[in-house]
Structure 1
Amino acid sequence: MKNEKAFNDKPIRKPLVLSTWRHGLAANEEAWKQLKNGESTLDAIVAGVGVSEADPNVASVGYGGFPDREGEVTLDACIMDSNSNCGSVSFLQNIKHPIAVAKKVMEKTPHVMLSGEGALQFALSEGFIKENLLTNRAENAWKKWLENSKYKPVINIENHDTISMLALDEAGDLYGGCTTSGAAWKLHGRVGDSPIIGAGLFLDNDVGAAAATGLGEAVIRTAGSAMVVELMRQGKTPMEACKEIVERIYNKHKNHKDMEYLQVGFIAINKVGDYAGYSVRPGFNYAICDDEKGNRMESALSKMT
């Protein structure tokens, strides 16, 4: 049921594309071009975040992503449409565009998520090409890490810079996608929040959409994106909802072993095009594109200063 208090008699700002981190600018640009050319919103999201997936200089997504501690690049992604259809892949190797595979999972299988070797087999059966995703830059960084082999994430450094994208289209419908190579130097087989519907991404087309970036384990523990959407259902603005869940994550991790390097950020959009970003620590930014001001970066407010 739509939240009447939040949405009645308010003009809708649409279309609108919102994505995480600075590499979201290039992703937004491509998604916006696709939307203006009449492509479907899902295809626009796949094309948009696909820019980051294909960029060897983005060390946290797709080709060029930093590997796990075994030297393997493993990828996670999910996508969700306005009818709550969704698809996901986790622990996928050797496929440059996991977001496109996630879309195929949604469209062509009775499942939501495929993982590991099964996800790879499915991708190959759908015509995706197997490629080596470990660039020289990423391999050299991994070899340098091996000299000490101490897993210690660095806040706001690219090893957690998932790209999540949310879109409110001309029809007033919400869509979202998320793709990442996960935490650098992770244990082989680790899966973060990015492919998990309700953690890294969630939307309800009657209410709003939310997506996460940062330490995936903390987002999973709190079903972060789903909780942001539920708060918007209760009448909170995107800013209020993101802030409350960030504070919940902070409070639940105050005495946790992960607190030393805890950074989580959320972006959110509601049905009238209000949007926001909020994070545990400073440094999280996001890209926003609309007809009024074009494509630009905004800095999120944060719990800690």
Structure 2
Amino acid sequence: MTSRRKFIKLTALGAATLPFAKTALAQPTAGAKPIVLSTWNFGLGANVEAWKILSAGGRALDAVEAGAWVPEADPKETSVGLGGLPDRDGHVTLDACIMDEHGNCGSVAGLEHIVHPISVARKVMEKTPHVMLVGEGALQFALANGFKKEKLLTKESEKAWKEWLKKAEYKPVVNIENHDTIGIIALDAAGNLSGACTTSGMAYKLHGRVGDSPIIGAGLYVDNEVGAATATGVGEEVIRIVGCHLVVELMRQGNSPQDACRLAVERILKKNPEKAKQVQVGFLALNKQGEYGAYCLQKGFTYAVHTQEGNKLFDGQSHF
């Protein structure tokens, strides 16, 4: 993994966290309930906060929101929330969505100045008749609902952006600067599913660009009868196949979470084999029985799983 996607120190995970293990591929666990899964290494820290709620019998929706807060508030994470790298114009714009067991969902895109877009997305879900608010409208809504306006561009991110401006070349590198969206999906003790997804999007993107992360059905989808899925990687490729809805529908057809993720990745590969060699896309899925799986295009995608047995990090199986 890259140096900036560091493993979260155990001391930061709290006393409740067991030492994590890493293996080539997590084996699906039937009947694991409650359970929470998060994408990438920082999913370990997110899972800790989510588990505090799940282990106390709390709702999956509250758990995934609490988990998302961890990377959103970390100034050292350059792909989510406070530490997010800006677009090419120097604006840190955030995208997020959330979905509960009843099919309720909320989303924000192109949101500036708010550290926790996931909570703004939940407010959109709970307080408006809409699903998505964007840009200035999303900011106005956030401020009207008590969120604090803050400067999101950190000194480190600003320095990196100014260095990038010297050549202004947009050449994303797999698993380095553009694929750290955190997606979180959980099954609570009552057997209900929820999910959340939050990101600052591609580094140095065109101002106004929105990827899959805040789009229900693309970056996240939850069907309480079947399962939940979230995605990470190049959002444009996920949007083209409505990735997470596809994964859930594949599970509805009887595929395991692992196979559903693999089939979705293969759909991307089939559409554009040459392009698929140059980008990363990964899916993470959880079904109603507590079975889970993950699959990605390129090596390097990791995900964290927290059950009663502890909080562990795994490598996602890859096509290449």
Q: Distance in 1 between matches of 2:234 and 2:38?
A: 17
- Residues 59 and 188 in structure 2, CA contact (< 8 A), matched pair in contact too: no
Q: Distance in 2 between matches of 1:95 and 1:171?
A: 32
Percent identity over the alignment?
Answer: 61
Aligned twin of 1:266: 283
1:299 equivalenced with 2:298 (yes/no): no
Partner deviation per Cα, 1:119-178 (whole Å, 9 max, x = no partner): 000000000000000001101110111111001111011422100000000011110000
1:233 equivalenced with 2:288 (yes/no): no
Q: Distance in 2 between matches of 1:111 and 1:185?
A: 29
Q: Calculate the TM-score normalised by the size of structure 2.
A: 0.89
- State the SS of the aligned residue for 2:129: coil
Within 5 A, what are the aligned runs for 1:273-288? 273-288=290-305
Cα distance, 1:11 vs. partner? 6.0
Cα distance, 1:39 vs. partner? 4.0
Q: Distance in 2 between matches of 1:270 and 1:276?
A: 9
Letter paired with 2:156: R
Change beyond 3 A, Cα 1:158–1:150: closer
Pick aligned residue for 2:76 from 54, 57, 66: 57
Partner deviation per Cα, 1:269-301 (whole Å, 9 max, x = no partner): 01101101100010001000000x200101110
Pick aligned residue for 2:63 from 44, 52, 55: 44
Cα distance, 1:41 vs. partner? 2.3
Aligned twin of 1:127: 146
Partner deviation per Cα, 1:39-97 (whole Å, 9 max, x = no partner): 43222211111010000111100001000000110000000000000000000000000
**Any gaps of 5 or more consecutive residues in structure 1?**
1-9
- Residues 59 and 159 in structure 1, CA contact (< 8 A), matched pair in contact too: no
1:154 equivalenced with 2:173 (yes/no): yes
Aligned twin of 1:191: 210
Q: Give the count of matched residue pairs.
A: 292
Q: Distance in 2 between matches of 1:98 and 1:11?
A: 33
- State the SS of the aligned residue for 1:106: helix
Aligned twin of 2:266: 247
Pick aligned residue for 1:181 from 189, 194, 200: 200
- Residues 92 and 116 in structure 1, CA contact (< 8 A), matched pair in contact too: yes
**Any gaps of 5 or more consecutive residues in structure 2?**
1-28
Structure 1 consecutive aligned stretches of length 4 or more whose deviation exceeds 6 Å? none
- Residues 66 and 159 in structure 1, CA contact (< 8 A), matched pair in contact too: no
Q: Calculate the TM-score normalised by the size of structure 1.
A: 0.94
1:220 equivalenced with 2:236 (yes/no): no
- State the SS of the aligned residue for 2:94: strand
Q: Distance in 2 between matches of 1:255 and 1:298?
A: 27
Aligned twin of 2:13: none
1:210 equivalenced with 2:229 (yes/no): yes
Partner deviation per Cα, 1:14-57 (whole Å, 9 max, x = no partner): 00000000000000001101223454322221111101000011
